[in-house]
Amino acid sequence: MGDGRKVYWTLAPQAKTIRCGTEQHAKDYAKAAIARRRNHRYEPLTGSIAARRRPAKRGAQLERTLATILFVDIVASTEKAARLGDSRWTKVMNHYYAAVRKELKTSRGKEVVTTGDGLLATFKAPAAGISCAAAMREAVRTLGLEIRVGLHAGEYEVSGADMIGLAFHIGARVAAKARAGEILVSSAVKELMSQSGTGFKDRGVHQLRGVPKRWRLYRVEH
């Protein structure tokens, strides 16, 4: 339309098929149709056009949640995959995820996301997270695998299906500092477990990649 305005279809135009019999009849029909369209007189609009705008969806409210965050992955997974080959490694991974998810369900943890051979989950209490980590470690050893686990307690935001927060990154960075078979926790987890009777060994102060300030980490002693 003029003045840069646009016209939108209320309903998409429908295609139709015309059988003309011969090529010449088809050409004649097309010429006649174009002529009719050019000669058509459009009635002028009277009054103003009412523009209806769909009500905007209200943005999902951000909800802050406190939880214990667990991150687990397989030690030396790339080397194992190269040694076993794609087919065998796929089978191992299927058994691996079945094992860790079974323990996650038993401990009432909530799976957030998987990343290759890693899994991120949340727990309402740190004791449940530590118990689940220890059970996962023993379960995957039957598959000839070793894992490393990191746990952190902190707040994150929930917006619809999205979960956002630095706490998730800290949990993953804590796990990256763990050795084979180790369950490492941040100082935030240890403080929450001060009356639990669980043993912790100080593993020193570490700079976690991409995370502000240095964090003291502890190994869970079982």
Going by pLDDT thresholds of 50, 70 and 90, the confidence category of residue 33 is low
* pLDDT bracket for residue 129 (50, 70, 90): very high
Taking a C-beta distance cutoff of 8 angstroms, is the pair 148, 181 a contact?
yes
pTM over 0.85: no
Domain assignment present for residue 126? The answer is yes
Average pLDDT, the chain: 82
Q: How many domains would you assign to the chain?
A: 1
Residues 6+ apart with CB under 8 A from 109: 70, 121, 122, 123, 128, 129, 132
Q: What is the CATH number of the domain that holds 82?
A: 3.30.70.1230
Each residue's pLDDT tens digit, 138-152 = 999 999 999 999 999
- State pLDDT tens for residues 59-71: 556 788 899 999 9
pLDDT at res. 16:
53
Give the C-alpha separation, 62 to 196, whole Å: 32
Q: Is residue 14 one of the residues assigned to a domain?
A: no
Residue 48 falls inside a structural domain: no
Q: Is residue 29 predicted with pLDDT exceeding 80?
A: no
Q: What is the pLDDT of residues 153-200, one digit of tens each?
A: 999 998 777 888 999 999 999 999 999 999 999 999 999 998 888 999
Domain encompassing residue 212? 63-221
Residue 73: inside a domain: yes
Query: Residue 116 falls within a domain, yes or no?
Result: yes
